Amino acid sequence: MIDIHSHILPGIDDGAKTMKDSLDMARLAVSEGIHTIIATPHNNDSYDNLKSDILPLVDQLNDQLRREEIDLQVLPGQECRIYGEIIEDYKSGHILTLNQYTQYIFVEFPSNSVPRYADRLFYDIQNEGLVPVIVHPERNAELTARPDKLYNLVKNGAATQITASSLIGYFGKNIQKFTRQLIEANLTHFIASDAHNISNRTFKMNEAMDYIEDKYGTDMVYYFTENAELLVDGMNIYKEIPEKVKKKKFLGIF
């Protein structure tokens, strides 16, 4: 299994604090059947992690994993908070796509909103030959309240990644419900851990995949696992036709 979103690099953001923490996370990942993981440290107002910071640290961690005989490969990536100059910084070599050489780029929205310029920026990102992947949209308050915004972004070419812990209820029932709605409306393409540690923000990938198989069948498990493989290889991912999130009837009235 491939996990495309993690904070496993030591001492660089709010994930692993030390190399020991990183190794502990790696051992837990392997125990869940994860053999490849993309390290995606934050690049935002709090953490200024650029490509030049991330690549050598990924090499250091992989060296340490080999010494410890932990059978996990770590690939470079970045979780970039949306901002207007993201394309300029990509061209100047500061922004890192997933697995460094692919066309997929993580984009994070603020927790409570979607910037008005997101549509235009995503259009421009795609004109550069890149595919914006919106991380954990199920935890964004504006998208939860106005899911048509996400529908429009996906319809126009964006991909999205939901979090394993969201799907199995660790962030609450409302987020779990919306996560399921995104799956059912073909509005998401990846599931990943967004793991930060081995205590309260762990992988939960096995649990999530079991949940998906139980609720949606084996084909949906294949869909998510194969899309992760295609992403790492820089190939075109599978996309079903997106639908709008259906509003539930209340007393026969929409």
> What pLDDT does residue 122 have?
98
Q: Which domains does the chain have, with CATH numbers?
A: 2-232 (3.20.20.140)
Q: How far is CA 231 from CA 40, 55, 104, 119, 152, in A?
A: 14, 19, 7, 22, 22
Between CA 232 and CA 153 the distance in angstroms is: 22
CB 6 within 8 A of CB 15: yes
Q: DSSP letters along 130-150, please?
A: -EEEEE-GGG-HHHHH-HHHH
pLDDT tens, per residue, the chain with 254 residues: 999 999 999 999 999 999 999 999 999 999 999 999 999 999 999 999 999 999 999 999 999 999 999 999 999 999 999 999 999 999 999 999 999 999 999 999 999 999 999 999 999 999 999 999 999 999 999 999 999 999 999 999 999 999 999 999 999 999 999 999 999 999 999 999 999 999 999 999 999 999 999 999 999 999 999 999 999 999 999 999 999 998 654 444 44
Q: Please name the residues in contact with 147: beta carbons below 8 A apart, sequence gap of 6 or more.
A: 178, 181, 182, 185, 187, 244, 245
Q: Please name the residues in contact with 16: beta carbons below 8 A apart, sequence gap of 6 or more.
A: 7, 8, 9, 10, 22, 25, 196, 197
CB 24 within 8 A of CB 198: yes
> What pLDDT does residue 247 have?
66
> What pLDDT does residue 246 have?
83
- Beta-bridge partner residues of 6: 39, 195
> What pLDDT does residue 248 have?
58
Which helix (H) or strand (E) segment is 191 a member of?
A: strand 190-192
Q: Is the pTM of this model over 0.85?
A: yes
